[in-house]
Every structure is written in C-alpha cells, then in structure tokens.
C-alpha cells in the first residue's frame, strides 16, 4: 500500500482584526505532520500537512471567522491511488456567510483553481472579507 499526503496554505486576507480560530480538526485516516494552527491573524498565512504511510489521508478542518458565526470548512480524501476529493466551503448559522468569500487558488493566491484530482496536493485557500 502506498502513502498519501496533503498540504494546506490558508491565507486570511480579511481586514485587520478579523482573525480566524480553529474550531475543529480531525483525521479519519492518517496523522498530522504539521498540526493546524489554532488561529490565523488577519493578513496571516497558516500552513498544515496531513500524511499517511499506509493508505489514504482523509479528514476535516474548520475555522470560525471573527464574526463567530461564519465557518470555513475543508473536507478532503486523498487516496494512495485513484482520484482525490476535497472542497472548501463557507457557512454560517443561520443563513449565508456574512460578507466573506473563500477561493481555492494557485500558489499566487490570484488565480482560482479546482481541487487537485491526482497526486499529493499542495492546496492554497484565500479567505477575504467583502
């Protein structure tokens, strides 16, 4: 059985004072090589990495934004063979996200892309306030 790996770069480009706080992180399969940061300051970039030597890496990350209502969630499933699946979403309780936007981008944080279907992805997420 092969290994699998995923890297996350999360760019909080929100206005000053709009920090993000880790509200959940779990791995159904694998382990954190680099654990998720407990908070991401406005203007900051956080990095974490999950890995599994014996199969797929599967899990969930969740950050609550500064309004304490909007939640940024990443779900991922990276098999050692076959297609990767993953998504990043914003949600709030109740209703729609409150003036925030999330984009999956390339490493420049300028070009929106889709979640990588193959290989061991290096993902880039941009969170911004409207």
Asked if omega into 20 is within 30° of 0 (cis), the reply is no
pLDDT tens, 76-115?
Answer: 999 888 899 899 988 876 555 678 889 999 999 999 999 9
Do 29 and 53 contact (CB within 8 A), yes or no? no
β-strand 39-40 against 100-105: which pairing, if any? unpaired
- Tell me the C-alpha distance between 70 and 113, whole Å: 23
Number of domains present in the structure of the chain: 1
Query: What is the pTM (predicted TM-score) of this model?
Result: 0.91
Domain around 88 = 4-129
Tell me, what CATH number does 59's domain have?
2.60.270.50
């Amino acid at each position: 059985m092969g290994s699998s790996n995923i890297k996350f770069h999360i760019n909080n480009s929100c206005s000053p004072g709009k920090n993000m706080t880790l509200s959940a992180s779990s791995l159904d399969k694998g382990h954190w090589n680099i654990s998720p940061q407990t908070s991401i300051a406005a203007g900051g970039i956080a990095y974490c990495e999950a890995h599994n030597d014996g199969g797929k890496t599967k899990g969930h990350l969740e950050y609550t934004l500064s309004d304490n209502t909007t939640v940024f969630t990443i779900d991922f499933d990276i098999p050692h063979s076959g297609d990767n699946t993953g998504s990043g979403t914003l949600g709030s309780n109740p209703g729609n996200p409150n003036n925030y936007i999330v984009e999956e981008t390339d490493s420049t944080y300028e070009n929106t892309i889709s979640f990588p279907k193959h290989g061991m992805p290096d993902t880039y997420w941009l969170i911004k306030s409207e």
